Amino acid sequence: MHIVVCIKQVPDSAQIRVHPVTNTIMRQGVPTIINPYDLFALEEALKLRDSHGGKVTVLTMGPAMAEEALRKSLTYGADGAVLLTDRCFAGSDTLATSFALSKAIAKIGDAFGTPDIVFTGKQTIDGDTAQVGPGIAKRLNFRQLTYVAKITSIDLASRAITVERRSEGGTQILNSRLPCLITMLEGVNAIRRGSLDDAFRAACSEIVKWNAADAGIEEITKCGLRGSPTVVKRVFAPTPRAQSAVQIETSDKTLRHVADEVVASILTQQPALELALSSNLA
């Protein structure tokens, strides 16, 4: 079985700077980590490989420094890593990103074996869109299984997979076919500590680096800003609320008196609440 895991290197802090002209995020100087949600996907892929055999290839699109995230994935036990990096990808929105990644996955298939499953985390912590996974699935024409909490079974002979998928108000049990794309829910497993062997191998491994041409991408206009139908027009900080809180004085008062005052103040500001709260109790 060949599994491809798409990961993303994301900023690890809130020290975000925005380019004043292009309104794009400037990543320089901000510490980076592997998107935490992607680690649940990576662990699930490694578990499947351990029980069914095969290999796990980790793929990321990003600047040269994203190599660190790939090397880290190798220390956890991934078998191979591909960095998709080219200036022409800069400014990609989710549609352009899914285009480039799907092309790279197809190329990985040619070079290292056709993937049975592509994994991603449920979303990234910087973009928070949860759109790239579904985008890749659609472009590859893979079945799409999002918010997966558990892989119940895989039958490689009949190309069948059964999963539990989180949805509103419950869990769907779905049976589908391989190849498929799975986005993994958070908290469903814990990333392993890599072995010493893996750490040694990771340090010595060559990370495969592809530019657009290497990945077989001829339609450069579908990449980067040109290939992105969405355009960020303005980035701005949220406006502070004009009025700050009315403070209830607490000095020289018992907590009981403070509470009396708080409740009185709540019911004065929102008279309708008294009825609403009373009826909640009924």
Partner 1 sequence: MKKELPEHFREYRHVWVFMELERGQVHPVSFELLGEGRRLADQLGVQLAGAVLGPPGEATSHAVTEAFAYGADLVYLLETPLLTDYRNEPFTKALTDLVVTYKPEILLLGATTLGRDLAGSVATTLLTGLTADCTELDVDTDGSLAATRPTFGGSLLCTIYTLNCRPQMATVRPRVMRMPLRTNKPVGRVIRHDLPMVEEEIATKVLGFLSDGKSETANLAYADVVVAGGLGLGAAENLRLLKNLARTIGGEYGCSRPLVQKGWMPVDRQIGQTGKTIRPKLYIAAGISGAIQHRVGVEGADLILAVNTDPNAPIFEFAHLGVVADAIGLLPALTEVFSRRLAPSRRVRLVT
Query: Interface residues for partner 1 in 3-32 (CB under 8 A)?
Result: 11, 14, 16, 18, 23, 25
Alpha-carbon torsion (57, 63, 64, 65), positive or negative: negative
Q: Least separation, in Å, of the C-beta of 2 and partner 1?
A: 19
Q: Least separation, in Å, of the C-beta of 280 and partner 1?
A: 2
Give the per-residue contact string, 109-148, with partner 1 (x = CB under 8 A; - = no): ----------------xxxxxxxxxxx-xxx---xxxxx-
Tell me phi and psi for residue 105, to 5 degrees: -65, -40
Residue 245 binds partner 1, judged by CB under 8 A: yes
Hey, which residues between 171 and 230 contact partner 1 (CB under 8 A)? 171-177, 186-187, 228-230
Calculate the alpha carbon distances from 160 to 152, 154, 171 in Å: 11, 6, 19
Residue 13 CA, distance from chain mean position: 16
Q: Which is nearer to partner 1, 157 or 236 (CB)?
A: 236
- Residue 256 DSSP code: H
Hey, which residues between 50 and 109 contact partner 1 (CB under 8 A)? 93-95, 98
Pick the closest to residue 177 from 151, 158, 200, 204 (CA basis): 158
Q: Which is nearer to partner 1, 204 or 246 (CB)?
A: 246
SS3 213: coil
The DSSP secondary structure of 42-65, one letter per residue, reads: HHHHHHHHHHH--EEEEEEES-GG
Q: Least separation, in Å, of the C-beta of 236 and partner 1?
A: 6
Number of residues engaging partner 1 in binding (CB under 8 A): 86
Q: Which is nearer to partner 1, 168 or 197 (CB)?
A: 168
